[in-house]
Amino acid sequence: MRIVHIAAEFAPIAKAGGLGEVIVGLCRELNRSGHSVDVIIPKYGFISLNKNTKQSQFKCLANTHTMWSTEIEGCRLHLLEADCFNRGEIYGYEDDLPRFIYFSRAALDYLQLQNKPIDALHLHDWHAALCAPLIKDIFKDLPVRKVILSLHNIEYQGKCAAADLDAVGMKGETYLVKEKLQDDNPKFPKTVNLLKGGIVYADAIVPVSPSYAKEILTPEHGFNLDRTLRGVQGKIFGILNGIDTTLWNPAQDRALIVNYTVASALKGKELNRGHFHLDQRKRPWVGAVTRLVPQKGPELLEAALEKTVEMGGSFLLLGSSPIPKIQDHFNRLKERYRAHPQVFLQCSYDEALAHLIYASLDLLIVPSRFEPCGLTQLIAMRYGTIPVVRATGGLKDTVFEGQNGFSFSDATIPSMSGALERACRVFRSDPEAFQGLMQRGMNGDLGWRKPAQEYVKLYGWTR
């Protein structure tokens, strides 16, 4: 099959979180199983090109653009050059909406010029969702058999004015109806919702775990899209993400001080902990690697830190926040614990440090309010770190109390503290059972083989 992905991220060259990692993992596996894979992302200002990059010119509306194409991970990666993307970050700009609206249009203009049949056009999140209505409206002749939209997190929907669609040649006003792109919140009848456009017009919708696929149909987790989603239930297929088991491999990870395998995990963890200069006496090491946003339960993470210290454990947190109030709060927390012999806090985004933390912990705490899939619990298992998670979304589908981790049902301090207590009790009083959990996690099938097979089935599926 020929599969084309359109997305905002592709790791490691453009990664802001889980999205970029998921796309590269899936693409590599699709390629391995013999499919032809193209990926289109914007060329951000921080991406430098290698010598083997080919360029081609194409037109989008009144503009001429360069598309840079290179082979990476067995896929053809195409980078769209446009002034609005020539910046230091992927997201976080006031004009993010018009930027990604334009990106969606330009990606299709490029594919139109290539004019090669596409079996599956796979769109990711709101950044590319507009491609689905664009294909039905402007790019009717594009030889695409099937359009798939993956929902990595429906909290982010891309809401804009109808005029923003006019800018890429659509008649924005005509989309302001319930059955099309009008936002489902009745308070904003003049607002266009890009993600909704993808949901309405795509042939199949893929939330990134089976539990999340059910949760988003409810008002509690639907972020106002639940009604629309319930209306298209027949084309929703939850598929769990995998992790890149080459990138996340404690036996070969260059970011670690010492590599280890299942057999040497305990010793390996002990040696990697040296990096943090904390008290090295035997105690449970608990921690998290996370974006600090309300979804991830920042107040529960702080409570987990306090609870861990109270129980005599060590706590490591690597987290950064796009929300200044939360970032400031954790910076102050870092000051407060600066000299504490059991606490290490780092309020930044640091890829190498993340690897060392996964390798050093005994327990990873993930107290999310909702979690579409979650990668950190999977990465933790790969490193012999036992996840303690709130039972929601993909966390619920991957972590099972007493089998490979611990879980708690409510996003509250008592519920979370109870799970931490249970985990620490097993750590202290039953090392054999604890090691059994570690081994089961490390030996688990966490990669992309199975999820990619499910995607392939879906690409070939017809209604």
CB-CB contact of 315 with 309 (8 Å)? yes
For position 350 contacting ligand ADP by CB under 6 A, the verdict is: yes
25 lies in the site for ligand ADP, by CB under 6 A: no
Q: From 31-39, 63-71, 312-320, 395-403, give the range in contact with ligand ADP by CB under 6 A.
A: 312-320
Least Cα distance to 207 among 367, 371, 25 occurs for 371
- Nearest-Å Rg of the Cα atoms of the chain is 23
Q: Which is nearer to ligand ADP, 69 or 153 (CB)?
A: 153
- Cα gap 352→256, rounded to integer Å: 8
Asked if residue 406 lies in contact with residue 419, where contact means CB atoms within 8 angstroms, the answer is yes
Give 151 or 379: the residue with its C-beta nearer to ligand ADP. 379
Closest CB to ligand ADP among residues 170, 375: 375
- Which residues, 6 or more positions from 277, have their beta carbon under 8 angstroms from its beta carbon? none
Ranges within 267-296 binding ligand ADP (CB under 6 A): 289-291
Residue 210 beta carbon to ligand ADP: minimum distance, rounded to whole angstroms: 16
Residue nearest to ligand ADP (CB): 18
In the complex with ligand ADP, the residue whose CB is nearer, 82 or 255, is 255
How far apart (Å, rounded) are the C-alpha atoms in residues 3 and 112?
Answer: 15
- Binding track over 115-144 against ligand ADP, x by CB under 6 A: ------------------------------
Closest by CA position to 3, among listed 201, 147, 214, 209 = 147
Out of 44, 337, 349, 461, the residue judged to bind ligand ADP by CB under 6 A:
349
Nearest to 4 by CA among 17, 25, 32, 23: 23
Nearest to 119 by CA among 462, 460, 407, 434: 460
Binding-site member from 7, 14, 17, 205 for ligand ADP (CB under 6 A): 17
Instruction: Kindly tell me which of 354 and 446 has the beta carbon lying closer to ligand ADP.
Output: 354
Can residue 404 be called a binding residue for ligand ADP (CB under 6 A)? no
Q: Is 21 one of the binding residues for ligand ADP (CB under 6 A)? A: yes
Cα separation, 409 vs 217, whole angstroms: 19
191 vs 321, which CB is nearer to ligand ADP?
A: 321
Q: Tell me the number of residues near ligand ADP by CB under 6 A.
A: 17
- The answer to whether 381 and 243 are in contact (CB under 8 A) is no
Q: Are 126 and 154 in contact (CB under 8 A)?
A: no
Q: What is the C-alpha separation between 153 and 373, in angstroms, rounded? A: 9
Instruction: Provide the mask over 375-394, with x wherever binding to ligand ADP is found by CB under 6 A and - wherever it is not.
Output: xx--x---------------
Nearer to ligand ADP, 150 or 182 (CB): 150
Interaction of residue 351 with ligand ADP, rule CB under 6 A:
yes
CA 371 – CA 355 distance, rounded (Å)? 21
Shortest Å, Cβ 18 to ligand ADP: 3
Least distance from C-beta 377 to ligand ADP, angstroms? 8
Residue 169 token pair: 């040649």
Partners of 358 in the β-ladder: none
How many Cα atoms are found within 13 Å in the side-chain-facing hemisphere of 106?
30
Which uninterrupted H or E stretch holds 378? helix 376-382
Closer residue to ligand ADP in complex, CB, 278/380: 380
Give the pairing type, strands 147-151 and 204-207: parallel
Q: How far is the CB of 221 from ligand ADP (least distance, A)?
A: 14
For residue 418, give every residue at least 6 positions away whose Cβ sits within 8 Å of its Cβ, in sequence order, or none: 408
Q: Which of 207, 313, 374, 441 binds ligand ADP (CB under 6 A)?
A: 374
All residues at 6 or more sequence positions from 79 whose CB lies less than 8 Å from its CB, including other chains = 41, 42, 43, 47, 49, 53, 67, 68, 69, 70
The residue among 17 and 367 lying less far from ligand ADP, judged by its C-beta, is: 17
**What DSSP line would sit under 210-242, residue for residue?**
HHHHHHTTSTTTSTT-HHHHHHTGGGB------
CB of 417 to ligand ADP, least distance (A): 22
> Could you say which of 79, 216, 318, 345 contacts ligand ADP (CB under 6 A)?
318
For residues 209 and 308, which CB has a smaller minimum distance to ligand ADP in the complex?
A: 209
Give 98's strand partners.
Answer: none
In the complex, minimum distance from the CB of residue 334 to ligand ADP, in angstroms, rounded to a whole number: 13
* 18 touches ligand ADP (CB under 6 A): yes
> Which stretch, 120-128, 136-144, 346-354, 416-424, contacts ligand ADP (CB under 6 A)?
346-354
Out of 319, 367, 405, 441, point to the residue binding ligand ADP (CB under 6 A). Answer: 319
**Of residues 18 and 133, the one with the C-beta less far from ligand ADP:** 18
Instruction: Please give the helix or strand (H or E) that residue 345 lies within, else none.
Output: strand 343-346
Q: Considering only residues 168, 305, 326, 354, which one is a binding residue for ligand ADP as defined by CB under 6 A?
A: 354
Q: Smallest distance, Å, CB 254 to ligand ADP?
A: 16
Binding residues for ligand ADP, per CB under 6 A? 17-18, 21, 289-291, 318-320, 349-351, 354, 374-376, 379
